[in-house]
Amino acid sequence: MFSSFYNSSRRCIPLVTPFLAASATRVALTTACDEGVTQKDVVDEAKQPPSETTTTPTTTSTKETTTTTTTTKEKEEELLYHGMFPQRQLWKPVKEYPLWDSNWDHRQPTPLEDKKEERQRTRLIRKEGVTRHIILVRHGQYDESSSDDEKRILTKLGREQADLTGQRLQALLKGGGDDDDEQQQQDDDSTKFDACNIKILRVSDLTRAKETADLIAQHLSPEVKIAEPDPLLNEGTPAHTIPSPRPVSSNRIAKWDDHHARIEEAFQKYMHRQEYHHQAEEEEAVAETNDKDDEDTTTTKSSSSNKHEYEIIVCHANVIRYFVCRALQLPPEAW
């Protein structure tokens, strides 16, 4: 379960020609020794300017390189996805959308051969397993007048936004309700909620995100771990958008090449289900109670609160949009 808060032609001749000349000299020396030619004859021959026969392969190689480059370029232009961006940059899911990939995070337990045991294990995990909640927070408003990251600091409004976000997260940590009116809370228990077990605060390595995380951390319990900034969470262009210009700019194509793999790595690192390590005795006990299909699976509040863990990730809008699409198994181009 996931919770989201707002938030070339290369010049070959100068490089290749000396190599060919040196190769010709080495071949000449080997042949000369076999045929008994003197050392002087070999040296004199090596000093002579390269013959036409020597330069011909170089010229041919240059032409072949140019031809190959042109052919590759033409192929790339032919493989545009509906004339927008390279086909290779289109997200390719494991299962065709809208089919659901149950092993989306590569952490699904190996299926059991016995279907009854498989159902019992699934119920056990749902009852005893831990649900991870990921709270995604975009950094506050920041100064965009400079391209230098150290100067892209939060504005006054951005600091206020971060402070208010910290206050809200503090309320979640303590538990309670949205309304301070005790009488109204007594009349409507739906406004009450248990305290959230916020385990860790993560942040990207960019200044505006780190400032936001620092302001939020002031409102959290000292027990909440503050992780080291992670460059994998930095802003970027993880996917193209549809609709897009036809074709997209070469600059945007280059950004995709630079950013997609990194942000996808961040997704796989942080967005995944909690692995459940159960003991055989617990499995046996739950299996006995799960023989009936209409089992009452209600649990007490005290036990349910321990089965939910919360993590806060302070990062960036493009990263958050990509994470949400991937978690919902929507095409990232829909972000």
Lowest mean pLDDT among 27-31, 90-94, 266-270, 289-293: 27-31
- For 137, counting Cβ atoms within 10 Å of its Cβ (0-12 exposed, 13-18 middle, 19+ buried), the class is buried
Q: Is 181 left (phi over 0), alpha (psi -120 to 50) or beta?
A: beta
According to the model, what pLDDT value does residue 278 have? Answer: 58
Which is more confidently placed, 56 or 273?
273
Examine residue 247 and say whether the peptide bond preceding it is cis (omega within 30 degrees of 0). Answer: yes
Residues 78-85: contacts with CB under 8 Å, at least 24 apart: 80/247, 82/246, 83/246, 83/247, 84/240, 84/242, 84/243, 84/244, 84/245, 84/246, 84/247, 84/248, 85/240, 85/244, 85/247, 85/248, 85/252, 85/253, 85/256
Instruction: Indicate the pLDDT class of residue 182, thresholds 50, 70 and 90.
Output: low
Q: What is the pLDDT of residue 302?
A: 43
Give dist(CA 237, CA 232) in Å, integer: 12
Per-residue b or e along 95-127, where b marks 16 or more CB atoms closer than 10 Å to that residue's CB: eeeeeeeeebeeeeeeeeeeeeeeebbebbbeb
Taking only the tens place, the pLDDT of each residue in 146-160 is 999 999 999 999 999
Closest CA to 245 of 109, 127, 80, 101: 80
Which helix (H) or strand (E) segment holds residue 319: the answer is helix 317-327
**Mean pLDDT, residues 329-335 taken together:** 94
- Looking at residue 78, its pLDDT comes to 57
Averaged confidence pLDDT in the chain: 77
pLDDT tier at 298, thresholds 50, 70, 90: very low
For the ranges 96-100, 168-172, 186-190, 264-268, the lowest mean pLDDT is seen at: 186-190
Least reliable range by pLDDT among 5-14, 60-69, 320-329:
5-14
Q: For the chain, give the percent of residues with pLDDT over 90.
A: 52
What is the CB neighbour count within 10 angstroms for residue 41?
Answer: 11
C-alpha–C-alpha distance, residues 257 and 248, integer Å: 13
Of 27 and 138, the structure prediction assigns the larger pLDDT to 138
Mean pLDDT of 274-289: 56
Q: What is the spatial distance between Cα 8 and Cα 314, in angstroms, rounded to a whole number? A: 42
The angle subtended at Cα 217 by Cα 211 and Cα 218, nearest 5°, is 100
For 113, phi then psi, to 5°, come to -70, -40
Q: What is the DSSP string of 134-170?
A: EEEEE---B--S-S-GGG--B-HHHHHHHHHHHHHHH
